[in-house]
Amino acid sequence: MNLTQRPRRLRRSGFLRDLVAEHAVRCEDFITPLFVLEGQGVAREIPSMPGYFKRSLDLTVEHVKVLRDHGLKCVLLFVQVDDALKDNAGTEALNAEGLMQRAVQAIKRAVPDMVVMTDVALDPFSSFGHDGIVEEGQIVNDTTVEVLTKMAVSHAQAGVDMVAPSDMMDGRVGAIRAGLDQAGHTDVGILSYSAKYASCFYGPFRDALDSAPGFGDKRTYQMDPANVREGLREAALDIAEGADLVMVKPGLPYLDVLHRVKQASSVPVAAYQVSGEYAMIKAAAAQGWVDEEAAMLESLLSFKRAGADLVATYFGLDFARLQHGQA
């Protein structure tokens, strides 16, 4: 054939392909979620998240040092709360001596450079397993926002770098920003879960934290998977209310939303490859149906290609190990 254009010329060798690659996965962009529980010397593998562990605070701190030594820069903290401490008011979430507050202090003390983020939502603390306060079977918005604001200030007092509200109540970013500022925490940032969908892919996470909703589902606050313009609206509101970073969640099933939010957003955009996405790759790999390493790399790269500046993923350390040649 007499062809002037032969795109395959740029694919002839690995070196050439590397040279023209448009996107790359970087450890620097990862947010590593960590599950913290009470106790000493406890590391418990999460059954629906093979290879991923909940750890007591002492081992969490050791793990954060490992993350740092592998070039990871950011952790996002979640805590598992004893059933006896759960109520419908988020009381334990505001406890200055609570596990979350102690975790922030201990990690910042041991690894001051690590960017520490905390989940701000009531579900792990709620006797109903909902992200907000429940009244007559409804999740009430404004009362919940008041508690979330106090929760964020309490994390700031413990030394957090950024709070990450994941609850999807209306107006919470603005209220949290005002609360932080009034308390003198103008440097504490907000990563908002802006377009967070009511998704089945959070299943393993809810197993891990024992935080599944006790009644109903989360569809009166988390978004309808049918909607994309609504995600743009949520992101725009959060940015207007003072969000420093916005996030789209889950990841792979919502790359279109991620792409659109990135185009419309003036702040960096994060994607969250959630627990169920991790579990699917692990499960298929365990069956020998997909190659785990390749599936990890391809999915992580897809977030960058769709426009993610940051990627929250359970594969961060695996990727870093692979890159450092010690898989």
Residues that bind ligand PBG (CB under 6 A): 119, 121, 123, 131, 166-167, 202, 205-206, 218, 274-275
> Positive or negative CA dihedral for 184, 186, 188, 194?
positive
Alpha helices (H) in 159-291, listed in sequence order:
172-182, 203-209, 229-240, 255-264, 275-286
C-alpha span between 149 and 165 (Å, rounded): 10
C-beta of 109: minimal distance to ligand PBG in Å? 25
User: Is 54 an active-site residue?
Assistant: no
Q: Which of 73, 86, 249, 262 is catalytic?
A: 249
> Annotated catalytic residue: which of 196, 218, 262, 282?
196
Q: How near is the Cβ of 205 to ligand PBG at its closest, in Å?
A: 3
Q: Which is nearer to ligand PBG, 57 or 121 (CB)?
A: 121
* Residues β-bridged to residue 43: 55
Complex with ligand PBG: residue 110 or 284, whichever CB lies closer: 284
**Pick 107 or 274: Cβ nearer ligand PBG:** 274
The identity of residue 67, as a single letter, is L
Q: End-to-end alpha-carbon separation of the chain, Å?
A: 45
**CA separation, residue 80 to residues 125, 171, 280 (Å):** 8, 26, 23
Q: Could you tell me the smallest distance in angstroms from the CB atom of residue 208 to ligand PBG?
A: 8
Considering the complex, state which of residue 150 and residue 264 has its C-beta at the smaller distance from ligand PBG: 150
Taking alpha carbons only, the member of 179, 182, 167, 94 closest to residue 132 is 167
DSSP string, 152-169: HHHHHHHT-SEEEE-S--
Question: Which position's Cβ is nearest ligand PBG?
Answer: 205
- Residue 86 designated active-site: no
Complex with ligand PBG: residue 202 or 319, whichever CB lies closer: 202
- Kind and range of the H or E element at 299? helix 292-306
Active site residues: 196, 249
